[in-house]
A and B are shown apart, each in its own frame.
Chain A
Amino acid sequence: MEVSRARDYVYSDTELDQSESKVIEELKAGATEPFVDPDAWLDEELSQNILLTTADWLINWGRRSSLWPVICFPACCAFEFISVMGPRFDMSRFGMEILRASPRQADVLITAGTLTWKMAPNVKRIYNQMAEPKWVIAMGACGISGGIFRSSYNVVPGYNHIIPVDVYVPGCPPRPEALLHGIQMLQEKIAKRTNIIKE
């Protein structure tokens, strides 16, 4: 039986090399000068990117849009807070995607749980370590008033007995939507701050 040679049915190496060489030489001949960068839009956009505002508004915008909470999870409200942090309710939509373990890097303390007198000095110390400006959201019945444990021998009847509170979010525990509403109320409060005082 006669066997046909494979070389008859494929491109010859010589032909392939010749056509590749031709493509490269043509591209190289046409590419002597670089393309001009498309920067004609710069002048047009620059005029649209300048806006006039007050320094107060700018500072408050920066502060309210990147509120970083410090970890303060003494009890069960923490789980509602954790779900607010998670993807379903997604607190990062409001600029709060980072939960700081260090109070020195945090802006807001969310009191997610019952506070005992044994723990109270530590919470006060965490609050004192936070850099100004700082805010506190009292989350849940225990955070507001001690809740059902108010008459206990070892429960602080509301965080406002040891630290100043800006926003109260009621509920036992509050729904995640309620906490988000409280955070938005805090942002509205921050937006009204006066930072620069005229002399």
Chain B
Amino acid sequence: MTTSLSTREIAGQISERLPDAVIDAADAAILVNSNSLLDVGAFLKNTPGLDFDYLTTITAVDYYQYFEVIYQFVSIEHNHSLVIKTRCQGRDNLTLPSLVGLWRSADHQEREIYDLMGITFEGHPNMKRIVLWSDFQGHPQRKDFM
């Protein structure tokens, strides 16, 4: 069984290295600043003892005022897991840094979130729709999509 790590403990480790990254550390997940998402990803992947070598899932939630993107990391080496969240405010021209450079598994999932939620991932090598066709208007998983 994969152990989920203590979010507050990991958040403390992240804050030591990256002072502005962590916004909040709840029981289930660490909320990080979207500007430091890449740095946090590199920290989680490369720090000995954490070694998150596997990004299992990326999902996005529409909360009207903001979109929240949830990353679920697993370390196969240590058999532990962690959930990181980040937010982008508003509804237009939403951007987040892409994690494809750190985890290849982010590729299709970031394209799916772009397709259905309309969040652009900067630095993604192939940022285009994956489920719908390229001329499709709108992003259907948004709550205001009709």
Contact B133 A117 (CB under 8 A): yes
Q: Is A153 in contact with chain B by the CB < 8 A criterion?
A: yes
The smallest beta-carbon distance between A35 and chain B, in angstroms, is 74
Name the residue on A nearest B133 (C-beta). A118
User: Which residues of chain B (88-146) have a CB below 8 Å from chain A?
Assistant: 131-133, 136, 138, 140, 145
Q: Is the interface of A mostly helix, strand, loop or mixed?
A: loop
* CA gap between A118 and B133 in the complex, in Å: 7
Interface size on A, residues (CB 8 A): 4
Q: Is A129 in contact with chain B by the CB < 8 A criterion?
A: no
Contact A118 B140 (CB under 8 A): no
* CA gap between A118 and B131 in the complex, in Å: 8
Name the residue on B nearest A118 (C-beta). B133
* CA gap between A117 and B136 in the complex, in Å: 11
Name the residue on A nearest B141 (C-beta). A153
* CA gap between A117 and B132 in the complex, in Å: 8
The smallest beta-carbon distance between A122 and chain B, in angstroms, is 12
Contact string, A126-170, partner B, CB cutoff 8 A, digits 1/0?
A: 000000000000000000000000000110000000000000000
The smallest beta-carbon distance between A42 and chain B, in angstroms, is 66
The smallest beta-carbon distance between A57 and chain B, in angstroms, is 47
Instruction: Specify which chain A residues have a CB less than 8 angstroms from the CB of B145 in the assembled complex.
Output: 153
Instruction: Specify which chain B residues have a CB less than 8 angstroms from the CB of A153 in the assembled complex.
Output: 132, 136, 138, 140, 145
Name the residue on A nearest B145 (C-beta). A153
B-contacting residues of A (Cβ < 8 Å)?
117-118, 153-154
List 8 A-B pairs, Cβ < 8 Å. Answer: A117-B133, A118-B132, A118-B133, A153-B136, A153-B140, A153-B145, A154-B131, A154-B140
